[in-house]
Amino acid sequence: MSVTSLAGTPFALLENPSLIPGFLEDPYPFYERLRSANPIAHMPLPDYEGPGIWLLTSYAATREAFIHPGLSVDNTIGDAFQRYRALLPENFVVPMGPRAMLNLDPPDHTRLRSIVNRTFTPRMVSELKPRVEAIAKELLEDAHRGGSLDLVRDLAEPLPAIVIAEMLGLPAEDREQFRLWTSHIIGLQMHTDPTQAMHSYQALMEYFAVKVAERRARPGSDLLSAMVFAQEEDDALDDEELLTMSMLILAAGHETTTNLIGNGSLALLQHPDQLERLRADRSLLAPGVEEMLRFDTPVHLNVRTAPNDLEVIGEPIPKGATLALLQGAANRDPEVFSEPDRFDVARKENPHLAFGYGRHFCLGAAVARLEAQVAFDVLLSMFAEIHAETLDVERRPNVVLRGPATLPVSVRPS
């Protein structure tokens, strides 16, 4: 069974997922059909004879690709990128481009990650908890006065944005502006005007250039000051790396956690027995958040490129091929997860790949887990009843980042 027969067009999944009926609403049946046919499926590109794209949908293939020493995170060396690049404006600069940590292999990746690891420590995460709780309570108190609120607009979006802005030392009044910029950049996959994305990228670079200059003149105790210190004292970052790292932390620090809280809220409302189970036993918050990460993964796709001919779980991959690691599919693999389509906040064995795996494991995973656990704890403490106005919610038109665009609910305070 080919991707063409499933999708109607070979490149549909990455160019326009809306061409696959029902994909944005529920991609998991598509993933299951594809995984059952071939866990590493070749997706040829129209009018193109190169190696194309390979879709990895099984847990074994996805996990191996995350740690495969022969695969690169630099997607600009893949033939698929060259085809995509030809469709963009001549002066287009890829946002979060080749100097971003997530697009670098060792040794540059190792050098950059070690700098940020100095700040993302277990102690830092534990010290964040009281502030995250205060922000969540304030957001929900302001939102619910009319007996209703939107769990995306009023909680899932602002909470992680405020937290990461405070960690970086950015003014609260700038939050809406940088959320708009990052949404343009991250939404580039298929629905954002490339020129708009580039303008937002340049605007955000200029914004951080000003903030870096301010930290050099008046350093503080925030993460941005720590990175400026690392650049000046250790000569560990050049100017472009410093700005790109700041942008990456800002964007990744709130967009993915927004989807975690949004997807998790929707899953609980779709499974009221699990919502009440979590309400009755808060010790299930930690495994419950892990199940939210697995059941409806916030990041559905990572990309790797094959610089040379190689194999993944014994399947030959040609030089220049682009591999789409569909971790959202891997997290529903029945070979690893018992009853994978069942949402269970007390699931015990849950080695999901929501944060990736290996050396590119999500840097802010501990912060995201904390924010989600606190958000649901506060939500359940403040409201004795939570009912969705509709479970047929609009999804964000993005194949990489999966989450609801809105989630209106009625509530009754405790």
What pLDDT, on the 0 to 100 scale, is given for residue 354? Answer: 96
Q: Which of 52, 18, 10, 317 is nearest to 189 (CA)?
A: 18
Is the pLDDT higher at 396 or at 409?
409
Q: Residues 222-233: what's their mean pLDDT? A: 82
pLDDT tops 50 at residue 65 = yes
CATH number, domain at 253? 1.10.630.10
The pLDDT tens digits of the residues spanning 176-212 come to 888 788 877 765 444 456 677 778 888 888 999 999 9
Q: Which residue has the tokens 């969540």?
A: 136
The pLDDT tens digits of the residues spanning 97-115 come to 556 777 788 888 888 888 7
Is the pLDDT higher at 22 or at 365?
365
Going along 238-388, which residue ranges are E strands?
Answer: 302-305, 310-312, 315-317, 322-325, 383-388
Is the pLDDT higher at 67 or at 243?
67
CA 121 to chain centre: 20
The pLDDT tens digits of the residues spanning 263-311 come to 999 999 999 999 999 999 999 999 999 999 999 999 988 889 999 999 9
Strands 148-150 and 408-413, bridge-based pairing = antiparallel
pLDDT band at 10 (very low <50, low <70, confident <90, very high): very low
Query: Percentage of residues in the chain with pLDDT exceeding 90?
Result: 48
Print the domain residue range for 233.
3-413
Q: Which residues pair with 72 in a beta bridge?
A: 305
CA 414 – CA 402 distance, rounded (Å): 31
What pLDDT, on the 0 to 100 scale, is given for residue 372? Answer: 97
pLDDT band at 19 (very low <50, low <70, confident <90, very high): low
What pLDDT, on the 0 to 100 scale, is given for residue 115? Answer: 78
Question: How many structural domains does the chain have?
Answer: 1
Is the pLDDT higher at 89 or at 233?
233
What pLDDT, on the 0 to 100 scale, is given for residue 331? Answer: 98
pLDDT band at 1 (very low <50, low <70, confident <90, very high): very low
8 A C-beta contact, residue 259 and residue 403? yes
Q: Which residue has the tokens 């956690």?
A: 257
What pLDDT, on the 0 to 100 scale, is given for residue 235? Answer: 57
Highest mean pLDDT among 145-149, 232-236, 282-286, 386-390: 282-286
Q: Residues 124-133: what's their mean pLDDT? A: 90
pLDDT tops 90 at residue 239 = no
DSSP string, 357-410: -GGGS-TTHHHHHHHHHHHHHHHHHHEEEEEES-S-PPBPS-SSB--BS--EEE
Q: Which of 91, 54, 58, 59 is nearest to 75 (CA)?
A: 54
CA 357 – CA 100 distance, rounded (Å): 18
Structure tokens at 48: 């193109």
CA 70 – CA 75 distance, rounded (Å): 13
pTM tops 0.85, yes or no: yes
